[in-house]
Amino acid sequence: MKRERITAAVAALSALGLCRAAYFHFVVEPERPVRHFDREFRELKEALPPEGEVGYVSDVALEEVPGEVNEAGKEPYLEVQYAVAPVVLRYGDDTLPMVVVRLADPARLDEVLARHRLRFFSWAGPRIALARPR
């Protein structure tokens, strides 16, 4: 009797897991395509040291008001941090020997470089530049 209950419980949980997997595969995934960060940020990863810290600045502020996170700036920062780990991005630090510049609008590169007193080093993607302190 006990063995039959365990078998029934395992079968029920398996069916539930199968339904969940089918839901995500057929409903959720088609609406949210998977991004391949490894390919998207390959050039950046190759240009950075294998470990350590680099600066990070952007034309979209992570904090517009001190202590309040700007969601529009948070997501791009976290994407880059995920892609370049174990390298640590120091947000707003424009004094480190290498600085990643993430741009929502690539036309604003000169403005961001001037504001942070950086000089352009190279492009590491369509919206990512590398810079060094002046």
Question: What Å distances lie between residue 57 and 24, 35, 67, 102, 129, CA to CA?
Answer: 35, 22, 17, 6, 10
1-50: pLDDT as tens digits = 788 999 988 999 999 999 999 888 888 777 777 677 778 899 999 999 99
Mean pLDDT within 56-66: 85
pLDDT at 37: 73
Among the listed residues 89, 98, 87, the one whose alpha carbon sits nearest the alpha carbon of residue 121: 98
121-133: pLDDT as tens digits = 999 988 999 999 9
pTM to 2 decimals?
0.73
Question: Any idea which residue has 């470089």 for tokens?
Answer: 113
- CA–CA distance, 75 with 91 (Å, rounded to integer): 13
